[in-house]
Chains A and B, each alone.
Chain A
């Protein structure tokens, strides 16, 4: 394999003011190889790929393409050299068909000016058959699933003659079933001699699909290892630089009183469409209840209704026995509901505020933060200093702007604020989205600790693995209804089925 290298990056160094993003990084890719690039957020994966894709110019180092030195100056350059990139966020035009999206920028034409629609569809069809990427060229992009949209992105790259495909966190948006299908596609591309760079921070996936794995940490290549012999533990250690506890160490739950009770809750969204249709469940003290589901099945509306951010159409919410109907966010906060929101940047934090000001977001008007409407910034700072230490927030002090922190540290600020109020119920919505291994480990451990403190924890996540590893009970939300409930051991496949609405049929 080594003598058939399609890409060599040697000694790549890229410095930004104040930081070395890539420090003498080397990376190579053989023909027909899947090479995973593994690293925490900020390890330098994106910088390296942006250099390869012609978006950054390296300060030092050499890129060889099929043995010849090559300098990329733009993405166009890279595409012409046979490099294709599938971004995490798709760049498709929803109102155009699959075929139109794929040929965009390089359209087959009829009579010099007209788009050869039939020809385009034909070429897309043959391409999709060749690689086993089933999509209907005539469908509108807005009408196909996320998994299919990803295939369209891959086809787009192949259409432009890509020999090297960069897949940036490709499974982040997929269900487990879709991810399995994607791996099938990757295998068939591989069999066809394409080379694939698979960027991820999910260890199990990497071990499943990659031939070789290169781990980056703080801009340096830590190791390049073959899949054989690598374990999740060894990779995590290389990524983080210390031993990482991957499995959540969780003593059995000892549930107490019911702290949160939801009865026949109905919630409609802004467009008047019912998104939560008669959901009932309860959360006891000292247990973690996980809600699994594909994005958009009513999770957001459910959380909003429980926290007072949205009026429920009907139904009852009880916190520690007290009933709350059409409560305001403030009433729910006072009732003892803590909330780590799913979008920490849009809702969880005022990015322009300092850490101290953000920590005071719920109780800025109560003593000791304030008295008679007069604010005492020094006291906010004092308390923030304590919580920063307690929750191990790094990257700044109490007066640092929250927007200047990394995602993991931003989330720690949110968690610190919510937990410090000593809530009875803690709603954690996608608490580890976009975070790296170290931060995920911390937050998971913390949630279990808070459970053991006697709080009732409602965990809503799109990451099935997270739900499975943390929850004492699991509910599956599908189209606004509870499609499954599991207290003991349950397989990933069963939940995956229920997430797609197949649970009842399969159970029957």
Chain B
């Protein structure tokens, strides 16, 4: 049995590799190669090795600001999606008594994940705009007299759109991790006199750590690699690392775009590796 499976392991995995090699490994290597070349200014590439692209990135003050801005949005999005995701998952697992209802409510949370992200993003415009629902309602209630300007096309609306899109990436793995917690452990802790807070802190949190890490990987890598939410929802007020990269592509400066793509990929890889160090994700997924 074992010998037969060993031989078939690679046979079964080969179609996956036939996609990953040309469409993941090769493009990354091409980007890496292009980052050491020069642009001819017309979309062409001169294959003379140079470190010029990297030199420009690391000496430009703009780079630092771009990363600062992107990291700011990443941290805010991560924090809010974690808080919301954790408590929604906690509610579904520990407070909904019927398992069937819990699965139903869980699906209710996941349905928007399967619809268009761009549409979900622009759907905030009629709510947050100057003449949007929220400003109208607040003015009618007399809470404010002038429309709140910061609601749309601001850092605020960027974070709202991200949290709206990405909280599901926290809910699913945390829900999975929490659903595996043995309810008898919770009962035993209650019997031993633990408070509700103690149970969350000493049982639920440590046992859903893997789910939190998995969700964090998704949220961090998606926000770091995104540009259209920042571009549209900030109304052009905020820039992002990938946004700048995309502008380089727009003016056919492929080598400098490639160099900043390499730097970004390294940063994201380091972040993901740092998160992976806290847990064994493969064990978490495959068990």
Q: Do A and B come from one complex?
A: no
